Chain A
Amino acid sequence: MLALRGIEKAYPLAGGTLPVLKGIDLNIEQGEMVAIMGSSGSGKSTLLNVLGLLDGFDSGGYDLDGVDMSGLSEKQAARYRSLFLGFVFQSFNLISFKTAVENVALPLFYQKVPRRERQKRAMEMLGKMGMDDRADHLPSELSGGQKQRVAIARALITEPRVILADEPTGALDSSTSQDVVSVLREVNGSGITVIIVTHEADIAAKCDRTIRLHDGVIIEDGRSGDVVEPTANGAGSTD
């Protein structure tokens, strides 16, 4: 489904460049649930953005569903994002002046789905997240967990093949976090690939597979239970 081959990426810096991804080889199959861990600044978000076509890379290759993604135009990237990918962010990234249901329906707007159908599907999706009673609330009127449910509903509305979540529980307390991960587990149960960047071992433990990054290199890749947590945290997220 997702295949990275020797991906390298560096950020331009005042006195040269800062290499962030230093040759990433990674294969993720359809239906996997993968955690990406690693200390702060190890390149997790950068990797996820590359996977999500939100950012480019300097060298290497990226196949999404068998299609080469290098040298994609912005328009093409937008299309692939719209067709294949759903995003969940630590800070929810709901549009503040739109209600929950409007937020959930927005990706369908960009797919040119007619209004009625959009509305219907958005309500259904909110229902699946147990949020249908909050459909007309603005994000500011929702709790953190509720916001993340709305955000997941929005990510799922286009029936993507892959959900990319960058620290989706980073702003939530532990019981709400478990809640959100259960939701993502269910999503994965329906066959959707889920990739979660996280600092929390117990979140990673809920995934099938854990990848550990260190300084732009994958240092561990295995079944979640087998991976050992070297330090208690890597907290103090810079995102």
Chain B
Amino acid sequence: MMGLDRDRLIELVQVVVRNPLRAFLSALGVGWGLFMIIITVGAARGLENGVKADMGNDVANSMFAWTMSTSIPYKGYQRGRGLELDIDDVRWLEANTQHLDLVCPEIQLGGWQGTNNVIHGKQSGAFDVSGAIAQYQKAKPMNITSGRFLNQADLDAVRKVCVIGSRVQDILFEFGENPLGETVQIQGVLFRVVGVYTPKGNDEDAQNEAESIYIPFTTFGKAFNTRDRVGWLSMLIKDGVDAEEAEEATKQLIKSRLSVHPDDPRAIGCWTMAEEFQKAELLFSGMRLISLLFGSLALLAGVIGITNIMLISIKERTKELGIRRSLGATPVRILCQIIGETLFLTFLAGLCGLVLGVGLLEAVDGYLEGGGDAGVFRHPEIDFGTVLTVLCILLGMAIFAGILPAIRALAIKPVEALRAEG
């Protein structure tokens, strides 16, 4: 009904200018509330970004599966049968799946934790040693810092080559010594180093990754006598396929291949990144909601402050409102004026809080980008949608804040208003 034309704006500015201290004090609460919302939501987002960056070494559509023992008798087999996968099962799975892009067999030397199993010259260390295929990098991205990763030729020719993590290099090699072309001895077998990598991400998982060694899957089977045996599968779910659906379908495929009862809950273990992300997502949206809730409470306190100030202001300006009435102002115009003033004050305050909050976030972001360290805290930010939501909440509250003073103003009869002091 009322556009904010220049006159109304002038009227509004006059209200603020007339009593700047009061305007400032009443604005403070709302400004603070909004500032708090921006900061807490932004901080929650920063934490979220930090945690997600730590998950960066994992691919969002990755899935892992491994075999255990059966818990339901099936097709003449007793329960408790130990299950194993071999390379033929992998090929079969690859050929029959409709949900997966990539199936990587993997196998690891077990039982060596704490025992020095890898030697180079006088140095030795205890590292995870895995057999993998060339495509493994897609399931677990890493930064190759020198040399290369395993390739198909390594696998086909069953070469005794290895790719080592950066920590392995640090421990086994002298500072400045180039490990490429050097040999390391793994459980008595010599392997030539063809590449060095650093893991992506910086969580505990990534630390472990840096202390790993990869050798061709085929070579692993020969050298350590595991032949075609597969420890577990690293897989990639096709784009657009639901993770849960892919997980269930893949489990069923493996069960049918290994003659396991379809309802056996224990036989096949499976883990998808998407579910992990979902859990994290739930946590973070919870955090966002809580910060929004508490911020809104702070905002509400601020808005109540504004209502209070407006009520005092109405009382003081009774005479002025009476004069306006005598000059032809209808009740609706008075109502609009009071609500308009409240809105203006609230929004002015809100805007200050918003600008300060976003400014602070940007400053922190700039500091972090510039190399400042804040643990798992990265790129705090607030998206436009949240700002819009907050502004809508503010709008609602501001109208709410204006209604009581407006009603109070209208309850005064013109003649009484004119008789008032002031």
Q: Report A's interface with B, CB cutoff 8 A.
A: 49, 52, 54-55, 74-75, 78-79, 81-83, 87, 89, 93-98, 106-107, 109-111, 115, 154, 158, 239
Contact = CB atoms under 8 A, between A and B. Distances in A.
A81 B414 CA distance: 11
A106 B327 contact: yes
Contacts of B319: 93
Contacts of A97: 14, 17-18
Nearest to A115: B7
A75 B331 contact: yes
B415 A107 contact: no
A78 B328 contact: yes
B418 A89 contact: yes
Interface of B: 5-7, 14, 17-18, 319-320, 323-333, 413-415, 418-419
A75 B413 contact: no
Contacts of B413: 54-55
B326 A54 contact: yes
B6 A115 contact: yes
The 5 closest A-B pairs by CB, nearest first: A82-B328, A55-B415, A110-B328, A78-B330, A107-B327
27 contacts: A54-B325, A54-B413, A55-B414, A74-B331, A75-B330, A75-B331, A75-B332, A78-B329, A78-B330, A79-B328, A79-B330, A81-B325, A81-B327, A81-B328, A82-B328, A87-B326, A93-B323, A93-B326, A94-B323, A95-B324, A97-B14, A98-B14, A107-B328, A109-B7, A110-B328, A111-B328, A115-B5
A97 B316 CA distance: 14
Contact of B415 (A49, A82, A94, A98): A49
A54 B415 contact: yes
Contacts of A95: 320, 323-324
A92 to B, nearest CB: 10
A49 B418 CA distance: 10
A110 B327 contact: yes
A105 to B, nearest CB: 9
A25 to B, nearest CB: 22
